[in-house]
Amino acid sequence: MTEPVVPPACATLDAQLTSHGGALDEADETKLDTARIQQAVDRCPAGHAVILQSNDGRNAFLTAPLSLRSGVTLVVGAGVTLFASRDPRLYDKQPGSCGLIDHRGRGCNALIQVESAPNAGVMGPGTIDGRGGSNLLGQSVSWWQLARQAQVENANQECPQLIRAIGSDNFTLYNVTIVNSPNFHVYYGRGNGFTAWGVIINTPATARNSDGIDPSSSTNVTITHCFIHAGDDDVAIKAGSDGPATHMTIAHNHFYSGHGMSIGSETNGGASAIRVSDLTIDGADNGLRIKSNASRGGLVEDVEYSDVCIRDTKLPIFMDTHYTASVGPDTNKIPMFRGIVMRDVHIEGKGNITLDGFDAEHRLGLTFDGVTLDPVVNFPIEAAHADITLGPGAVNFMPGGDDVHVSGRAQDAGGGSACKDKFVPMAK
C-alpha cells in the first residue's frame, strides 16, 4: 500500500460554530450544518473532496447523519471538529427507533453512511466527535449509559455508529481522529478494498460496544499506522452470513485499552489469509483473540501474528471456541481454528492464556515460533483439544491440558527485552 493522498477540493465550507474545550455552547445545539454539507457532497464530482475548514476563530460543525457519494471524500480540516448531534430523532430509521432500549436492534442510522459508494473516503487531520458520553437532548442519559443499561436488561441499546460503509469498494480513512462514538467507531462490510491509515481512535475504556475498526465479510483490507484506545475490540475482523473475511493486513499499529486484536465472534462465513504484524498492545483486556461459538462458528485458518509486543493485558492470548457473550439459538455452526501462527510475540507483566479447541474433532491448530512470556510464572495456561507446535524460534513455556498434543520443546529465550522502545504513548 502507498499512503493515501487528499483529493482536490470541489467545495470548501467555513465553520460557523466554535468549540470551547471540546464542547459546543448549548445555544448552538440546534444550529445544524447537515444541509450545507450534504448539498456540497451531492454536487461534488468523483475524485474530489468537500473540505470543512476553520474560519476566523470558528472551528466546529454540527451534523445529523450524512451520506457520502461515489468517489467523494469528506475532509475534516486541521483544528476542526465535526460534532455529532445529540438529538436521537435525527438518527431514527423508523419514527422513535433510536436513543432507547429494546429487543429489535439496528434502529439508528450512522453519522456518516457510505452505501454502494465506491472510492469514497473520510480524511483529516481534524476530529469527528460522537459525544457518546454527553446527555441526549432533552434527556438525562447519554448514549453510553443506554448501552450499560441495556447490558443489565439483556436488551439492545439503540445507539448510532459513527462511520458505516457497506458495499463500498476502495473506501479510505486517512489521518483523521475519531472520538467518543456511541457505538462502533468504524464498520466496513461487504466490500473489496478498505484502507485505514493514520487513524486515531480515542474513547474511554468504559464505553460499551465502542469497537475501533471492524472489517466484516470483506477482502483486501489494510489497517496501518493507527492508534486505538477503545471500550471494546480495538480491531474485530468479522465473517458472518454475508461471506468470508480474507486477505487482510493489520500492520504498524498501537492498541491501548480495549479488547485487543480480535477475529470473530462471527466466523461462520470463514476467515483466512490474515496477517498481523508490528503491533503493540498496552494495558488492554485482551491481546490476540479469536472468538466464536457453536451458534456462529466456522473455519478460521491461515492467520499469522508476527512482531507483536503485549504488556499488562489480562488475557494476552485468547483462542476461544466457547465465547459466551453472543450465543444464538443455533448450535450446529462449530468453530475450528487451524493454521494459526504466532511468530516473535513477546508478552510482559501477567495474565491468563487460553488455548481452547472446541472438541476432539474440531481442534485448535497453533504454532508458537519465538514466543516468550516474561516472567513465565505470571502466565497460567489453560488448554484443551489442541495440536501445538513449538519452534523453530525459542518458546519459553510448555502448554498442557486435556487432549493437548505438543511437538517441539520449550527452551530459554535468552536475556534482553525484545520490546525495548516498542511501546509509545497514545497519540493525540
> Residues 169, 214, 232, 282: which is the catalytic one?
232
The answer to whether residues 279 and 259 touch, using CB atoms and an 8 Å cutoff, is: no
Q: Based on the residue annotation, tell me whether 232 is a catalytic residue of this protein.
A: yes
Unique residue bearing C-alpha cell 459466551: 324
Q: Which of 185, 259, 346, 385 is catalytic?
A: 259
Contacts of 301 (CB under 8 A, 6+ apart): 271, 272, 337, 338, 339, 340
Cα of first residue to Cα of last residue in the chain, in angstroms, is 24
Residue 222's DSSP bridge partners are: 195, 249
CA distance 259 to 316: 10
| C-alpha–C-alpha distance, residues 113 and 111, integer Å | 6
Task: Please name which of 94, 104, 107, 54 lies closest in space to residue 77, comparing C-alpha atoms.
Answer: 54
Instruction: Based on the residue annotation, tell me whether 20 is a catalytic residue of this protein.
Output: no
Q: Which of the residues are catalytic?
A: 232, 259
